[in-house]
Amino acid sequence: MIYFEDIHNNSMGLESNVCDNDESISEVERLPTRRNNRIDGKQYCLPSGTTCIWQNRTFLCDFEGCDFACSWSGNLTAHKRKHTGEKPYKCDFEGCDFACTQSGHLATHKRKHTGEKPYKCDFEGCDFACTQSGHLAAHKRKHTGEKPYKCDFEGCDFACSCSGNLTKHKRTHTGEKPYKCDFEGCDFAFTQSGHLTRHMKTHTTEGQQRQKKQERRIELALQKRGYKPWAGDRDILPPYGHYIREKRVDFTCVSNRMVCKWANIDFVVGVHGGHVFLEVDEYQHKVYDISCETRRMTIIHESIMLDPSNPLEQMPLVFIRYNPHAFRIDGILQKIPKTERESRLINYLRQIRLTRRDARSLQIRYMYYDTLSKLSRPLICTDNNFPTTLYDCCENIINQSSRMRRSVDCDNECLTCVPNGVTDMAIV
């Protein structure tokens, strides 16, 4: 490393490398330093492999608690807008209310309206073009295979071509989740802003209606096979053959560990010996943070076990996470009609037999989640954010035989008969 002050004071003996003109610049490797190592109008040709660190940061942020410092007044002005919320650069395209803190960001944004993509890839046969030079630089690394951004956590050899991807990766080590949902009563947090954006849609009317549509399909499937909505006190859990929709569970004993004080379960279904907490997970709940999902189930189970006044206390229960949308096995998309999936789900509910020894153990069973044929658990369990303590609690419900296809439909459509092929549904 060579510091700016060392160059400025000639303490590094760089006199012979000082050029009065720019003709020699092409003979020297350019380094990514401010103003190409130009100080006082002269070009400093630094030795190859060195980097100039600019320590002359005279412009300091005066907002309380902020230690930002920079070398240029313009950068400080732009930075302060993060504190004030000022966005003086506004898009003038009709119907667009975009505003930002820097003129460069506005210029980049306007290219979305104009379609302009001035940065083009010059690799032979590649027609890639984009709106930002940084995106082009990252794209070119796909051609070169260069991965300059490396994880510095001990024992981790992760490397990537984009600094943003490295930042996201490091959060798997630190557990940091800076993007938090600000919807009242929701404590979800995410490692990526895009995941938060998708999650926020679940709080909109449209998103909730889309979710309710899938839940309604399950309710109709339950009713078709003889299950009845529980008409009694909702504080009393439904007996075998009945269900409660949108059952509220209070976190009475462990609420200090969650921002939200309660949770709604999509369906509570009475089965032999206990109950199933059935959750309809649209698109495998990929927009939700895994650790938040697992913590929610853990606390629900724990609060039930610890609260003697809870009607569920000592009652065996199982979580079933049912995905009504696309899923893959070994990376291959599985094409199973929704009606067939729903029939298999109901058949599985009917074959469950719980005992008192199941009351204290947390059981999570996934249905139609991405998996590998050699795994007994869905791929979600291999995610870095999935708690290892729950790994043995999870099972993957898959079909062992193609005979299950249409034979699962019971001619009598009642709860007293066992349909053909029900034993083909197995937990592996």
What is the tens place of the pLDDT at every residue in 178-217?
888 887 777 778 788 877 887 777 777 666 656 678 898 9
114 lies in a domain?
Answer: no
What is the tens place of the pLDDT at every residue in 314-332?
568 899 999 999 999 888 8
pLDDT value for 56: 59
Selected residue with higher pLDDT from 365 and 34? 365
- Whole-model pTM? 0.51
Q: Is the Cβ–Cβ distance between 373 and 332 less than 8 Å?
A: no
317 lies in a domain?
Answer: yes
- As a whole number of angstroms, the distance between CA 113 and CA 107 comes to 11
Rounded to the nearest integer, the mean pLDDT of the chain is: 75
**Residue after which a domain boundary falls, among 53, 68, 89:** 53
pLDDT value for 28: 34
370 lies in a domain?
Answer: yes
- Out of 43-47, 163-167, 254-258, 381-385, the most confident range is 163-167
Q: Give residues with Cβ within 8 angstroms of 422, minimum separation 6.
A: 347, 348, 350, 351, 408
140 lies in a domain?
Answer: no
Does pLDDT of 21 surpass 70? no
Q: Residue 43's pLDDT band (boundaries 50, 70, 90)?
A: very low
pLDDT value for 294: 86
pLDDT value for 424: 31
Selected residue with higher pLDDT from 119 and 35? 119
Number of domains in the chain: 2
**Residue after which a domain boundary falls, among 15, 34, 53:** 53
134 lies in a domain?
Answer: no
272 lies in a domain?
Answer: yes
CA angle 29, 136, 114 (to 5 degrees): 135
Boundaries of domain holding 377: 208-427
Q: Give the CA-trace dihedral at 293, 295, 297, 299, to 10 degrees.
A: -150
pLDDT value for 398: 62
pLDDT value for 369: 92
Q: Is the Cβ–Cβ distance between 94 and 86 less than 8 Å?
A: no
The residue to which tokens 């870095």 are assigned: 384
What is the tens place of the pLDDT at every residue in 130-185?
998 888 988 999 899 899 999 999 888 888 888 888 888 888 888 888 888 887 77
387 lies in a domain?
Answer: yes
Q: Give residues with Cβ within 8 angstroms of 212, minimum separation 6.
A: none
- As a whole number of angstroms, the distance between CA 386 and CA 190 comes to 13
Name the H helices within 202-263.
Answer: 205-224
- Out of 38-47, 333-342, 357-366, the most confident range is 333-342
**Residue after which a domain boundary falls, among 53, 70, 96:** 53
Selected residue with higher pLDDT from 44 and 396? 396
302 lies in a domain?
Answer: yes
Average pLDDT over residues 340-359: 86
